[in-house]
Amino acid sequence: MQFSFDEKIVAKMKAFFEKRAKVILFFFLSMVSIAYFLYYLSNGLGVAYNDARSHLDISRRVVENLTPGFAQLGSVWLPLPHLLATLTVWNDFMWHSGLSGAIQSMVAYVATGILIFSFLKILGVGMFGRIVGVMVFAFNLNILYMQSTAMTELLLIGTMMAGTYQLLMWHKEETMVRLLQAGFWVMLATLIRYDGWFLLAFAFALIFIHSIRKFGYKTTEGILVLFTTLASFGIVLWLLWNLMIFKDPLYFAFGPYSANAQQSQLEAAGVLETKRNLPFSLQTYIYAMIYNSGFFTFILGIIGMAMFWFDKKIKGEMRIAAIALMAPFFFNIVALFLGHSVLFVQGLHGNSWFNVRYGLMMVPTIAIFVGYLVHRLKSIRIAVVALLLFVSFFTFTNTDAVTIDDAVVGASGKNVQEVSGWLMDNAKDKEGYVLISAASHDAIIFSSQMQMKRFIHEGTGEYWDQALTNPTKWARWIILRTNDQNDSTFRELQDNKQFKNNYTKVKTLPFADIYEIKPEFVKDLRTQPTLEL
């Protein structure tokens, strides 16, 4: 009688959790997300990445700048994260705490956890395996750190995961609603990072394979037109934006601030080692995946993936749809091989980290396959989970997160505090503008705690042009890397007589030099935004 009673209680509990699992996950993951944001805010790591500061600055320039407006979105980084941040970045706390950008990452973190749960459920994975899959993602220390920052990885992961989930559901249900939902999320991904463009091509191929086998050519054509029209809409808008603002639809790809221009410099310096080297590209990205997911978790994911592909109980079309989970892997290998991307792993590429966070994109995929593996290995699942917990314990106690290393000691987090600290102490409370290249020194602008309208940079148009021609009229301070032709301020001012004769170098620092106008010329400076026409 007691046994029967216990069975009823267990059945009721299972039904309760099954019905409310997503709501419980939502509140649990939200609390974890907020707690870790506050933790990294308190220790200053939330805005450690220079790119995070640049993302926040781009959004701020749209709403507060010498020349505010949407043109400040620029041409290289895709616009959606910056557009979302403009809703709150006008507030100084939201800007300087990084919350204006981090809130997107936090929402994406919670959503991705729920999507992993849903994805595993569609694959027939039980509650235990689903929870393990979610926890592998949610308690990955690299994920927890990046969701606390204004970086774009988590937002991309969330939209790509949503698109992949809807693609899986379309393969199952074959409804127009699922196809349009997949197209919508893929479109958003294409407006966050260029990885999303690859997902679009990947999804197109998977939809074609499924449709041509089941519906024939004519229906397939209609399905592909419907999906592609929506999914590629963001790309079309971006090409038109570049054409309208920069007079070249491919300015983002080949302009002076593009990744192509940066990679060309690295190639000339002999450090773009993955280009045209497929084995080394594979090795580099696999190492990045291992550092981001953990070696034991990575191995479990590989085993789970192998078992999944050969599981005849799962319909073939569902297994084909799940290939979309591998899109980030193939994208990064191709990008490294073609020289369109750069990724330095300490030990493989000297003693530095750079962009190792790219390996983070495969963490949700690994989490799904680990959850599936735990579901299949019923007899030893407790032992597997115990080992996962054991490994995770040491990861957390040692704060072993490669993304933090990349932000703090790698090439992504060069220390600008000395320069920005000098500005805070010597310029913040005085009148006058700072002439600086935002392309080279956005992190300095952010860290100075000064209002954006105090800076004359490339995005200020006529102010920039006039300040480079006649600096003593506009610039009380000039920040640049002396003798560095990649610094556009130095490149434009190196032969300027006013710069040579009327300014004194007041500080030489590792990241940049600070020049201040000589006292006798201060009276002629403009301190209000009035242009000479």
**What is the rounded distance in angstroms from the CA atom of residue 115 to the CA atom of residue 17?**
17
- Within 10 angstroms of residue 116's Cβ, the number of other Cβ atoms is 26
Residues 6+ apart with CB under 8 A from 114: 22, 25, 26, 29, 134
pLDDT one-digit tens code per residue, 328-338? 999 999 999 99
Return the closest-CA partner of residue 436 out of 115, 330, 450.
450
- Specify the pLDDT at position 270: 83
Map 21-60 to HEC letters. HHHHHHHHHHHHHHHHHHHHHHCCHHHCCHHHHHHHHHHH
Helix 127-138 vs helix 363-376: crossing angle, to nearest 10: 150
CA-to-CA dists, residue 55 to 49, 108, 121, 152, 445, angstroms: 10, 17, 36, 9, 12
DSSP β-ladder status, 433-435 and 455-456: parallel
Q: What Cα–Cα distance (Å) separates residue 84 from each residue in 50, 119, 188, 428?
A: 19, 27, 12, 28
Q: Which residues in the chain come in under a pLDDT of 50?
A: 1-3
Task: Look up residue 323 and give its two tokens.
Answer: 């290939």
pLDDT in the model for residue 351: 83
The residues near 347 (Cβ < 8 Å, ≥ 6 apart) are: none
Q: What is the DSSP letter of 354?
A: B
User: What pLDDT shows up at residue 413?
Assistant: 61
pLDDT of residue 414: 66
| Distance from C-alpha of 209 to C-alpha of 501, rounded to nearest angstrom | 68
Q: Which residue has the tokens 């490149």?
A: 491
| Confidence (pLDDT) at 268 | 84
DSSP string, 455-476: EE-GGGTHHHHHHHHSHHHHEE
Q: What's the distance, CA 75 to chain centroid?
A: 16
Strand 513-517 versus strand 503-508 pairing type? antiparallel
CA-closest candidate to residue 192, choices 64, 291, 104 = 104
Count the alpha carbons within 13 Å of 514 in the hemisphere toward its beta carbon. 20
Cβ neighbours of residue 306 closer than 8 Å, sequence gap 6 or more: none
Question: How far is 503 from 474, CA to CA, in rounded Å?
Answer: 12
pLDDT in tens, 57-78: 999 999 999 999 999 999 989 9
Q: Tokens 């091509």, residue?
A: 201
Q: Is 517 helix (H, G, I), strand (E, B) or coil?
A: strand
Residue pair 468/493 in contact (Cβ under 8 Å)? The answer is: yes
Torsion of CA 123, 125, 126, 128, to 10 degrees: -140
The amino acid present at 163, given as its one-letter code, is G
Classify residue 424 by burial, with Cβ atoms within 10 Å: 0-12, 13-18, 19+. Answer: middle
Note the maximum CA span of the chain: 97
Comparing C-alpha atoms, which of 107, 113, 106, 98 is closest to residue 45?
Answer: 98
Tell me which DSSP letter residue 255 carries. Answer: S
Q: Are 183 and 227 in contact (CB under 8 A)?
A: yes
What are all long-range contacts of 414-417, with beta carbons under 8 Å and residues at least 24 apart?
414/50, 414/443, 414/511, 415/510, 415/511, 416/50, 416/441, 416/443, 416/444, 416/447, 416/511, 416/512, 417/447
Chain length of the chain = 533
Residue 217 CA neighbour count, 13 Å, CB half: 0
What whole-number distance in Å separates Cα of residue 214 and Cα of residue 191?
31
**Can you give the pLDDT at residue 410?**
63
30 bridge partner residues: none
Residue recorded with tokens 């603002």: 245
Strand partners, 505: 515
Note whether 90 and 64 are within 8 A (CB): yes
